[in-house]
Amino acid sequence: MNLVLASASPRRRQLLDQLGVSYRCEPADIDETCHPGEKPADYVQRMALEKAVAVAGRYPDGETAILAADTSVVIDEDVLGKPRDHFDGLGMLARLSGRSHSVLTAICLHTPAGESMVEVVETEVFFVQLDRQQCEAYLATDEPWDKAGGYAIQGLAGAFVSAIEGSYSNVVGLPLTQTWQLLSAQGIPTALERVIE
């Protein structure tokens, strides 16, 4: 069975590479607008499923599985997307400062038979108190602009994180444990299965 990662994210590629999976990348091009009143967990599930189905439509060969994921930062039940501009990024960091927030990632594996397995993983992230100067210094880097919630835990913003409860790789964008389990259940080998064999 062939595997396609429906993402252009270099972080997701790096995490999938950790599992030693053979795959190719093909980003999905979908509307990622949150529906009015849509709960954050429902939103990330819908996004992951729509990404997987969109890319699966390009592979009617019956031999290709599609792995898709969607990650959102959630605070006060609000989904924080990627910052639109400097002011938006500043507002996001101000909201996260000195508080905890949730990072939700939905992963979807769409099989050649047309079945979709979707799982949502949640991690709680705790930020230290940030002042305006620290926020401005961070926003002056290239790091926050293509990241949900306007920060990257695996980069400079890791200094803002005092603690996490749950999966670190989930915050980066692909929960490794659940991804490995989904792939293994469908007979898609990782380096772990090859070692065992």
Contacts of 37 (CB under 8 A, 6+ apart): none
**From CA 79, how far away is CA 128, in angstroms rounded?**
20
Which among 29, 70, 78, 146 is annotated as catalytic? 70
**From CA 14, how far away is CA 93, in angstroms rounded?**
26
Can 70 be counted among the known catalytic residues?
Answer: yes
For residue 15, the Cα-to-chain-centroid distance in whole angstroms is 11
Residue 172 corresponds to which amino acid? V
Residue 105 corresponds to which amino acid? T
Bridge-based pairing of strands 2-5 and 64-75 is: parallel
Query: Per-residue DSSP letters for 185-196?
Result: HTT---HHHHHH
CB half-sphere exposure, 27, CA atoms < 13 A = 8
Bridge-based pairing of strands 78-80 and 64-75 is: antiparallel
Q: Which residues are catalytic?
A: 70
